[in-house]
Every structure is written in structure tokens, then in C-alpha cells.
Amino acid sequence: MPINDPVKAQIVRKRLLEKKICRNCGATNSVEASKCRRCHSKNLRLKRKELASKKSA
Ligand SMILES: [Zn+2]
């Protein structure tokens, strides 16, 4: 189903870019998730495009 509403398209695009990766099992979770859907660990990190370069925290 095509998305004609530019506002909705932007939200979808943002959701595709912003994900949470479980540090425990590596599963991809939605950005709203507070814990991993696979292993229920709360050890999640945000995955975003601009974090592609490694930075020592
Ligand atoms: Zn997990």
C-alpha cells in the first residue's frame, strides 16, 4: 500500500532509521521497546545512521 501522506512517510522513514539493538542477543527491536522482544533483556542500544562511526563512550 503506497504512502501518499508526506508526514506519514516521514514517520515511517524515521522508524526505519531508529531501531534498538539488544546487546544480549543482537535482536532488532522497535525504538519504543524498553526491553528485547526475543530475550527480554533491558540491555538495548539505539541504532541510528549517524552512529555508524565507532566512538568510544
Ligand atoms: Zn535480546
Render pLDDT for 8-55 as a digit per residue (tens, 0 to 9): 888 777 666 689 999 999 999 998 899 999 999 999 999 876 555 666
Distance CA 9, CA 49 (A): 18
Domain presence at residue 26: yes
CA of 10 to the centre of ligand 1 (A): 28
Domain coverage including residue 39 = 6-46
36, exposed or middle or buried, with CB in 10 Å at 0-12, 13-18, 19+? Answer: buried
Query: How much is the pLDDT for 37?
Result: 97
In a domain? residue 56 = no
Residue 11 domain flag: yes
CB 41 within 8 A of CB 35: yes
Q: 17: CA distance to ligand 1 center in Å?
A: 19
Centroid of ligand 1 to alpha carbon of 29 (angstroms) = 9
> Does some domain include residue 1?
no
State the CATH number of the domain containing residue 24. Answer: 4.10.1060
Q: What is the pLDDT of residue 49?
A: 65
- Amino acid at residue number 3: I
User: In this predicted structure, what is the pLDDT of residue 18?
Assistant: 83
For the chain, the distance separating the N- and C-terminal CA atoms, rounded to the nearest angstrom, is 41
Tell me whether residue 30 is in a domain. Answer: yes
| 35 in any annotated domain | yes
**pTM higher than the cut 0.75:** no
Distance CA 39, CA 15 (A): 22
Looking at the 3D structure of the chain, how many domains does it have?
Answer: 1
